[in-house]
Structures are given as C-alpha cells and as structure tokens.
Structure 1
Amino acid sequence: MRWLDADWRESSEVCADAAWAARAQGNSVLSSLSPSQVTSSDLDPVTARTYRHLYLNALRYDIRCPTLQAFIEQLVDSGVQPLDCYSRALYAFALLAQSHPEGPGLMDELLGEVGAHAKTLHVLLHGLWLGQNLDQGAERILALSSQPPFDGDNDPIVLFRVAGALRRLGRYDEGLTAIDQALDLLPPGDALVVADLVRERLLIVATQDLCRHQLAQPFRGALA
C-alpha cells in the first residue's frame, strides 16, 4: 500500500477483501496482527492505515463490536493516528450494531462524505442490519440500499440485508423475493454466505408462518 500510495478508498477495498478471505480460510488477521502493531507510532501513515483497516475489518467480521468500539476510541484518545473516513465508518458500524444512540448520527455524517463508495456503504448497512433496536433501522436499510451504487438490485449482500429489513417490517413476500434474488446472484462456491442467506430465507418463512398462525387463532376461537 505504501509503495502504491493508496488512498483510504483503495486501502479499504483491498483490506476488507483480504480480511474476509483470511477468515474464510481459518487464518484470521487477528491471529497475525496484534493491537500493539496497529497502534505503533513508528509506522508511516499509509502502513498504519493499512494495518488499521485489516485489524478493524477482522473485528467486524467476527462481530466483536465492543472491542472494535473501544479500540477506535483508544486510537482517537491517543491522538497518534488521525482516522480516515473508512475507519470512522467502522466505528459507526460498531455503534450501530450495538444499537447505540450515537450510531445513526455518525452514519448520516459519513454519508455526506463517502458518496457512492460501495465498501464504506456496506459497512454501514452491516451495522444497521445487526442493530435490532435502532429506531427506524429497517427503514434506513431500505433507504440506503436504494441509493447508488446499490440501486440496480444486483448486489447479493445488499439484497440479503434488504430481506432482513423487510422481514422486520412484516413484508414477508417481498423479503422472500429479495433473498431468492440474492441466492441467484451469489457467485458459486461461497458456502459461508450461502448458509447465511439460506438461514435468512428459513427465518422469513418461519416468521411468516407464525404470524399467520397467530392471526388465525382468534377466528378459530370464535367458531368454537
């Protein structure tokens, strides 16, 4: 990254994919990159950002949200390394995923800076998807997923998030359509992601069946 003089966008794209690939192969970045290496004051700015992007994404993919939040707050308090936009998005992810009240405000602030940068928007969608107790969380997922670069309904992970949001809103048939489209678009061979999508589909079906059963109960009681 240092030799390429990569900016934060290029760094985020490479590091997010690298952290995910390592995790999928059972070789987490967390096993080879220590917190002290990430926070070292001896690193040049580009290398420091690269280490940070790798480490924070590894925490994100393991859903270690309190650790991710605390680590970034430590970085900010130390004043050693200024945070780039993508690192702040990962902080927003940690807050959103924990349904922290400051999460949506930070997300809105970032949306004004990142434009249509897909990797950063994926981080924010991931946080919204995990934040079950966020006010208007499902609606925010649908709004963000309808903006560029996601407005073409051609990203299976975005459709996966959308399906979960539609389930929360009780729009089960639309959720099934979204998850089936996501399964159809997913590249072959990604067993981990296929399993996540299939679980979401089963959850939509089960929730829809439960809702129908509950609605039918008063009617049955009236006939007794």
Structure 2
Amino acid sequence: MNLPTRGPGRILALLEAQARATAWPADPSWPLRLAEDLVELGADWRESAQVCADAAWAARAVGHSVLGLISPEQVAAAGPDPVTARTYRHLYLSALRFDFRTRTLQEFVEQLPSGGRASLDCYSRALYAFALLGQSHEVGLALMDEVLAAAGDHAKTRHVLLHGLWLGQDLDRGAERLLALSSGPPFDNGNDPIALFRMAGALRRLGRYDEGLTAIDRALDLLPPGDLTVHADLVREHSLISATRDIDRRPRARTGGTAS
C-alpha cells in the first residue's frame, strides 16, 4: 500500500488500522472498527481510499467480501459523522468494483439524494466513474476528467479510472485514453504492475502487440510473489496478446479472381 507521504508515524498508524480491521475478516464488526480508527486518526479521503480499498481486497481474497458484511442500507445510513460514512462507502463501493458489479454501483450512487451525490469525495466519484466507464457510458468520460483534475497523481484514484477504461470496450478512443492514463504520472516510472497490465490491454486493442508483450512481461516480473489471482490475469493477457497477434499476422486467404 502506497500511502500519501505524511510522516512514518502517520503511515504506521494507518497500516495498523488496516491490519486490525482485517485480522479477523469473518467478524462482521471489522468495518466498524476500521471506521472508528479512521475517525480517531482524522483520515482524509486519500488515506481512507488507500486503507479501505486494500482492506476490501484483502477480505475478498480470503472469501469474506465486504458485500456479505454490510448492506447498502447500512452504507446509506452510516450516520452523521463524515469519516464513518466515507469509510463504509469506500469499503462497499470498492467491493462492488472488485466484483465488477458496475450496474449495482451505478444504481447505488444514483439513488443517493442529490445533495449527497454532489458532496461525494473524489474517490467515491472515481468509483462512480468506474461504473459508468465499465458499461461504456460516454458520460463517464466527463466525470473521469473532473476526477483527474481534483485527484492529481493519487495512484489509487487513477487505478479505479484505469479499471473502468479497461473494462469499457466501446468508449470513444477508449484504448488511447487507457494508454495515456496508464503511462502518465504516477505510473510513468514503469514500476506499477497493474498499470502495466492495463497498458498491455490498451496496446493489444491498438494492434501494438510486441509493445503489449513487453509491458505484460515487465508486469509479471514486478508482481509480488504469491498474488495468484492477479498473476492469472496477467498470464491470460499475455496469452490473449500472443493469440491476437498471431491471428492478425496470419496470411489472408485471397479472394476474387477470374471465374473458370
């Protein structure tokens, strides 16, 4: 987890909050414990996004998705404290994203009162944009641009938008947008395996197969050991690029000619 730089003590406190929350992922009270810790720390939306997304992923990885612990009604009625409400929202929407439930995520956000929707933090709006982009809704592109302007180089937010562009296959200039975002800051050092995975998908869609294979090979080299789910995704992308390249390079059957 790459937390914003706010001093080693701050980073350690946030990591400890996440570790406490997910130590017993089957315990239905861990989202509340995490919210209490983030309230005590006065976490901002960036810190909440980092901790909640990683906690939701960790719980899902061991078979205890947040979706089985908190209901949309609980999220919508999380109480007046803004940090608690944001924690529940980040956990729930992140879990929907990890399960590719784009329509459910969209519907949840759109049923919020107009005032609540307008006051959503930047990461929640990024998750809403993911839902729209993932369904190839062009309106998601405008929302994405708004989020990018507000989020700056916040990696977690940009990963959410990359995911939406990667999933939405029918967006206007979707592959070009995906390539630009995956190769720009903060991913321009080429050291983020997930950004490289998204980049490889964009290059495949653009017919730049050899570059795509280079990107996916580097992603495989950079992926932490033991991340089996993501490793399988990368291997599938490698196979897909190779197969698509071979099909495109196969000699075409000649047509036409003179009738005998």
Same fold flag (TM > 0.5): yes
- 2:74 and 2:80 map into 1 onto residues whose CA distance is 9
Partner amino acid, structure 2, of 1:115: G
Measured after TM superposition, the shift of residue 80 of structure 1 is 8.2
How many Å separate the matches in 2 of 1:51 and 1:160? 29
Per-residue CA distance 1:47-103 (angstroms, 9 max, x = gap): 000000000000000000000000011124473883101000000000000000101
User: Is 2:193 the counterpart of 1:156?
Assistant: yes
Aligned pairs for 1:111-190 within 5 A: 111-190=148-227
Match among 56, 70, 89 for residue 33 of structure 1: 70
Going from structure 1 to structure 2, the CA distance change for 1:41 and 1:191 (only over 3 Å counts) comes to: closer
Out of 201, 218, 231, the residue aligned to residue 194 of structure 1 is 231
Matching residue within 214, 217, 222 for 2:253:
217
TM-score where L is the length of structure 1? 0.94
- Which stretch shifts more, 124-133 or 202-211? 202-211
- The size of the alignment, in residue pairs, is 220
2: CA distance between counterparts of 1:41 and 1:181?
42
Counterpart AA for 1:17: D
In structure 2, runs of 5+ residues without a counterpart are 1-37
| Structure-2-length-normalised TM-score | 0.81
Large movers: runs of 4+ above 2 Å: 76-82, 215-219
Instruction: Give the one of 70, 95, 98 matched to 2:132.
Output: 95
> Among residues 22, 28, 37, which one is paired with 2:59 in the alignment?
22
Say if 2:98 is the partner of 1:61: yes
Identity %: 70
Contact 1:167–1:175 (Cα < 8 Å) also in 2? yes
Q: CA deviation at 1:182?
A: 0.2
> Which amino acid letter does the alignment assign opposite residue 68 of structure 1?
L
Please state whether the residue corresponding to 1:170 is helix, strand or coil: coil
Q: Offset of 1:217 from its aligned partner?
A: 2.5
Give the SS at the match of 2:254: helix
Q: Distance in 1 between matches of 2:98 and 2:186?
A: 22
Spell out, residue by residue over 1:153-173, the C-alpha distance to the aligned partner (whole angstroms, 9 max, x if none): 000000000000000001111
Instruction: Tell me, in whole angstroms, the C-alpha distance in 1 between the residues paired with 2:190 and 2:51.
Output: 23
